């Protein structure tokens, strides 16, 4: 089974085991920007293994759930919604650790998003290729997910679509830092990469952050936990074709197929 890399924000959430199973994180992407070779993968990371229908099966909801993500968003049949989305991310120093299971970039700085007046702390961010959400049947080159949690334990995921275009300078800068610390190789199990590197997540967001789609869905990787509030920003950001190729060469295609809407309502702002 493929182990996926995670970028984790805030040690107070380190005990949330399901977040360890989320898809490739920022370090996953910036590592391939810096390192040309790729690890072998035995199976697609977003393909749930076959199950026998047991209630104890951790993958059961991935197959049987009725509020699964991602979805294909039809932009012509949406209801309007109220509720501002405000990002209060601060530049944060990170260091990279390989714990034997995944590569994590760890920091302590509080960053949050405020959605409909509720504060959600940023836990981690990660990337998928191609995009998981589709807009009117069309997928994008990649998609970034920013995973948040509020004080009641509710999950908010902000999806940022990524289209081909100019090189993303913040991702390139992070990749250069990894390369300077390690050279052209991957982080080894048990290894820690230290040194001051300040990641500015705000620079990974599109200019227009107020227009979005929203619906109730799930995590897109096992255990596919439902009850997740999704906000997908309308305006995409850009990465270069070379950056996407490096991601795919190292980690393959990491997107889950779109799931049935099952009568759910999608709203726009």
From the list 34, 79, 52, 46, the residue with the least C-alpha distance to 246 is: 34
Give CA–CA dist 147/228, Å, rounded. 10
User: Burial of 82 by CB count in 10 Å (0-12 exposed, 13-18 middle, 19+ buried)?
Assistant: exposed
Catalytic residue set: 101
Q: How far is it, in rounded angstroms, from Cα 269 to Cα 267?
A: 7
For residue 73, count CB atoms less than 10 angstroms from its CB and return exposed for 0-12, middle for 13-18, buried for 19 or more: buried
d(CA 168, CA 89): 18
Q: Burial, 191: exposed, middle or buried (Cβ in 10 Å; 0-12, 13-18, 19+)?
A: middle
């Amino acid at each position: 089974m493929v182990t996926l890399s995670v970028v984790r924000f805030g040690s107070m959430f380190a005990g949330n085991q399901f977040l360890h199973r989320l898809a490739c994180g920022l370090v996953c992407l910036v590592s391939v920007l810096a390192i040309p070779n790729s690890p072998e993968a035995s199976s697609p990371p977003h393909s749930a293994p076959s199950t026998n229908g047991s209630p104890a099966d951790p993958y059961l909801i991935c197959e049987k759930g009725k509020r699964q993500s991602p979805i294909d968003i039809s932009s012509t049949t949406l209801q309007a919604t109220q509720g501002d989305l405000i990002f209060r991310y601060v530049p944060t120093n990170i260091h990279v650790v390989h714990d034997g299971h995944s590569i994590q970039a760890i920091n302590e700085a509080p960053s949050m998003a405020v959605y409909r007046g509720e504060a959600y702390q940023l836990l981690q961010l990660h990337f998928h290729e191609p995009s998981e959400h589709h807009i009117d049947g069309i997928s994008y080159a990649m998609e970034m997910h920013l995973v948040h949690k509020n004080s009641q334990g509710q999950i908010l995921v902000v999806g940022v679509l990524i289209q081909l275009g100019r090189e993303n300078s913040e991702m390139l800068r992070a990749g250069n830092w990894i390369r300077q610390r390690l050279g052209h190789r991957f982080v080894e199990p048990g290894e820690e990469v230290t040194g001051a590197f300040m990641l500015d997540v705000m620079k990974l967001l599109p200019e227009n952050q107020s227009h979005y789609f929203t619906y109730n869905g799930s995590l897109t990787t096992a255990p596919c936990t439902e009850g997740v509030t999704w906000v997908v920003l309308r305006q995409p950001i850009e990465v270069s074709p070379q950056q996407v190729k490096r991601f795919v060469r190292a980690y393959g295609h990491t997107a889950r197929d779109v799931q049935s809407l099952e009568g759910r309502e999608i709203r726009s702002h």
